Structures are given as C-alpha cells and as structure tokens.
Amino acid sequence: MRAVVRKARPSDRSELMKFIRGIWGGHDYIPQVWDDWLGDRKGSMFVVEVGGVPVGMNRFRILEDGSAWFEGVRVHPKYRGQGLASLLGENSMRLARAKGVKTFRLTSGSRNHTAHRQIARMKFKEASRISVYEAPKRRLEGDPTVRRAEGGDEKKLVRLIRGTKEFKMGSGVFWDGFAAASLTPGVIGGLVREGAVWHSGKGVAVTRVGGEGGEQWRQVCFAGGPLADSSRVVRHALSLEGKVRPRRRLVYLAQGSPIIGDLRRRAFTRMGSLILFERSAAKG
C-alpha cells in the first residue's frame, strides 16, 4: 500500500465526508468546520491518499504561546491500524518543527483508548486531565466585587494565576475552543490587555467567546484560587452579555479542583473529560 500525505483541497471534502459523517453516531464536528479549516491561514490541513483516493485527514495550528496544536485526525475504518494516522502526525510534526515550534499538544476524550494507543506511539505523554461543565439555562447573577483586570494589573495577575493549584494541576494551560495554550507571563499579559481576565480576592478566571462550525459559546477557559473567590468569579464571567449572546456557557476545569464540586451543587452539567497530551518537538 502506497500512501501519500498532501495539503487538503476543497475537492477532498466529498470523499472524506462519506465516512466522517458516520463517526460518533453522526455527530462528528468535522463537516461543520471543514470550510473554515480549509481557509484558515493560521492552520494547515492535510489528507492522506491511498491509490489517489483521500482516506484520512488531520490539521495543526500554531497557538498564541508558540506551541503546535494537533487535531481533527480521521482515518477511514478500512484503513485503520495501517499507520496512516502516524504518517499524518509525523508530517505535521516535521512542518511544525520547521516553523520553530518547541512543544506539541493535542487532546482526546478520556474514554477513547484506541486513540490513546496511537498517541503513545507518537511519544506523546499525558500531561493533565480536565472536566468540561455546562452552565444551567437559567440566568446567572453578576457580582459587583468581581472586576475586569486592566493593564496595570498584569504583574499581579501573572503571580495570581500561576500561583493557583489549578494552574499546577492543569499543566499551566488555558482552554479555548477545546485547544490548550500555556499561560506564560506573555500570554497572560495579552489576555489582560484583551479584557479576558476577571478577578475578585484571590480568585481569577479567563473568559472568551469560543466557537466551532457556526456555533458559539461563552467559555471560562481557566479558573483558580480559593473556592469562595473563584466560584464567584466563574459565575460572574458566565453572566456577562456582550454583542454575541451564545446559547451555551462552558467551564474548563482541572480535575481535582474544588470548584467542580461547587458547580455540581449549582446544577452545572458535566459534558465530559479530556486528557491533554504533550511532547517536546525534539526528535527521538
């Protein structure tokens, strides 16, 4: 079997969707994001061909911390177990290295053991686990003690965020649209200037509007600090109403955070668990 990896083209869609539409009981998100991914200059999407026919795909993009994020790996059931996912992954890692990337990351659902074995073959290691919770449909009340961080707060917020146990338990990342980037001092400073950081007492949260395939949601990308303070900041962040009014409100939390128990008591619903995998870009 001769397999060839190349850049994705618009004409690949119909052949790939023949099998992708049946994944996850017809709920795979790839059909909704294909056009966006194809036109996204910040990312690169690839297909693997066998006999001139596309039978698999993947994508990588460079995140704001300079890491490479790998996603969207799909292989036709007939061709699984033949090394095509690894071929796609090795191609993306090679190209990311050429861009000077030092760290590779990806995620997988905690129950997707088949994917975990493939990820291990590519020498990725589990870094941390997070749980994703959705807020109840009812309106959440804001809190006047919570305020948006401003430019002069950058140094304080760097110390605050990086000093929380959630930062340590969650591998020091924040989640945006199911991708994770490091909360480096530079990234935190950028988030503060963006107006994405909220705090009260020693509690802190990063919030953004995320989206995929035409769907948008308000998301708490990171939260940490003492329970009373952090819970108050999370609920305030989700109460915000801007120009965009997403239907869903999500919270990404490092597993083991006491904030999780508080959200459960407040009728937040657990959507699932994700494992963050990571490896150095160094060869070997």
pLDDT in tens, 95-150: 999 999 999 999 999 999 989 999 999 999 999 999 999 999 988 999 999 999 99
Angle between helix 113-121 and helix 84-98 axes, rounded to 10 deg: 50
pLDDT at position 284 is: 66
Nearest-angstrom CA–CA distance, 66 and 140: 35
Nearest-angstrom CA–CA distance, 274 and 126: 11
- Average pLDDT over the chain, rounded to an integer: 94
3-state secondary structure of 230: helix
Q: What percent of the chain has pLDDT over 90?
A: 85
pTM of the model: 0.93
pLDDT at position 24 is: 77
3-101 matches 131-274 in fold = yes
pLDDT at position 117 is: 93
Q: What is the mean pLDDT of residues 204-220?
A: 87
Burial class (CB within 10 angstroms; exposed 0-12, middle 13-18, buried 19+) of 9: exposed
pLDDT at position 212 is: 75
- Fold entry, domain 131-274: Aminopeptidase (3.40.630)
> What ranges do the domains of the chain cover?
3-101, 131-274
Q: Is the model's pLDDT at 243 over the cut of 60?
A: no
Q: What percent of the chain has pLDDT over 70?
A: 98
- Fold entry, domain 3-101: Aminopeptidase (3.40.630)
Of the pLDDT bands very low, low, confident and very high (cuts 50, 70, 90), residue 49 is: very high
Cα–chain-centroid distance for residue 122?
19
